[in-house]
Amino acid sequence: MDSPLMATASAPDLFVCRTGERRPDEATLRDRALEIHHRLCPVYGCPIPYFHSLDPVSELVSSLLSHRTRNAESGRAFKALRARYPDWAALIAAPVAEVEATIAGVTWPELKAPRIQAILRSVRERSGGLDLGFLAGLSVAEARAWLEAIPGVGPKTSAAVLSFSLLRMPALPVDSHHHRVAQRTGLIGAKVDVGPSHPVLRAQLPDDWSAQALYDNHEILMLHGQQVCHHRAPACGTCVLLDLCPTGQMREAETPRTARS
């Protein structure tokens, strides 16, 4: 049986703004988002095991460390914090310079150290402790709003806390790799930043998807961005999404002309 987009993948309304053609309607985008998910899942092996089993406060710290930082470096910094401080209350009480030195391997440790301390203080002041387990009793929208009311916590961090932690709530995080694949395949416009892309990309997926399904969606688009749809020199010719991707089709069309020049 043909997938929803197989018969329409080359239709003009599938091309995004950068080609000069009109944006597809919402129904077409939802179909495309599902088709992308269905094609990438066999490639990357859904369901994908969760990479963390952290309580939500620990996941919050981990997510804040990971901003613009390679996973290996943020992971080392997180382990260094856990080794140095017996609990997160001790980290709050520590001299900021000491925290900065402990996380020195991440990007912008001089900014992240005081920010993490301030965010943890805010969690403690607003909840009465350093336990975010109560978020499980809220809807995803309510839980994200609670987190994003804290200065320094944005859509990516709130979604990561709910999705990646032991809360295992159905929220969709979007990182830079996920965002790049979504832009190139036309799911979002070329001017939509990572933060604003969260509600747009979530709305394209079924409302009743489980936490695991949404986690899989994030992971497979992220992995595709890391392994195929690179920031520079994406491997468009071997991409399983090429017939759905206006950017890849343009690059492939331009390659012969470039090679001849």
Q: Mean of the pLDDT values across residues 79-106? A: 98
What does the pLDDT read at residue 117? 98
d(CA 98, CA 117): 12
Domains, in order of start, for the chain: 12-48+174-260 (1.10.1670.10), 56-164 (1.10.340.30)
Instruction: Read off the pLDDT band of 255 (50, 70, 90).
Output: confident
Question: Cβ distance 15 to 246 under 8 Å?
Answer: yes
Q: What is the DSSP string of 143-178?
A: HHHHHHTSTT--HHHHHHHHHHSTT--------HHH
Angle 13-177-35 from CA coordinates, rounded to 5°: 40
Q: Which residue has the higher pLDDT, 23 or 208?
A: 208
Q: Mean of the pLDDT values across residues 97-108? A: 97
Residue with tokens 């009793």: 137
Cβ-count burial 117-134 (b if 16+ within 10 Å, e if not):
bebbeebbeeeeebebee
What does the pLDDT read at residue 257? 56
How large a percentage of the chain has pLDDT more than 70?
89
Q: Please tell me whether residue 43 adopts helix, strand or coil conformation.
A: helix
- Sign of the Cα torsion 15, 17, 22, 26 reads positive
Q: In this predicted model, what pLDDT tens digit does every residue of 117-159 receive, in sequence order? A: 999 999 999 999 999 999 999 999 999 999 999 999 999 999 9
Q: pTM for the complete prediction?
A: 0.87
Question: Cβ distance 252 to 237 under 8 Å?
Answer: yes
Question: What six digits make up the tokens of 38?
Answer: 């269905």
Q: How many residues does the chain have?
A: 261
Instruction: Read off the pLDDT band of 22 (50, 70, 90).
Output: low
Q: In this predicted model, what pLDDT tens digit does every residue of 159-173 receive, in sequence order? A: 999 999 999 999 999
Number of H helices, E strands in the chain: 12, 0
d(CA 11, CA 24): 10
d(CA 44, CA 176): 18
Q: In this predicted model, what pLDDT tens digit does every residue of 34-76 receive, in sequence order? A: 999 999 999 999 999 999 899 999 999 999 999 988 889 999 9
Closest CA to 228 of 259, 185, 199, 173: 185
What does the pLDDT read at residue 201? 98
Question: Cβ distance 243 to 10 under 8 Å?
Answer: yes
What does the pLDDT read at residue 3? 39
- Sign of the Cα torsion 76, 60, 43, 49 reads positive
pLDDT at 92 over 90: yes
Instruction: Read off the pLDDT band of 256 (50, 70, 90).
Output: low
d(CA 78, CA 72): 10
Question: Cβ distance 81 to 261 under 8 Å?
Answer: no
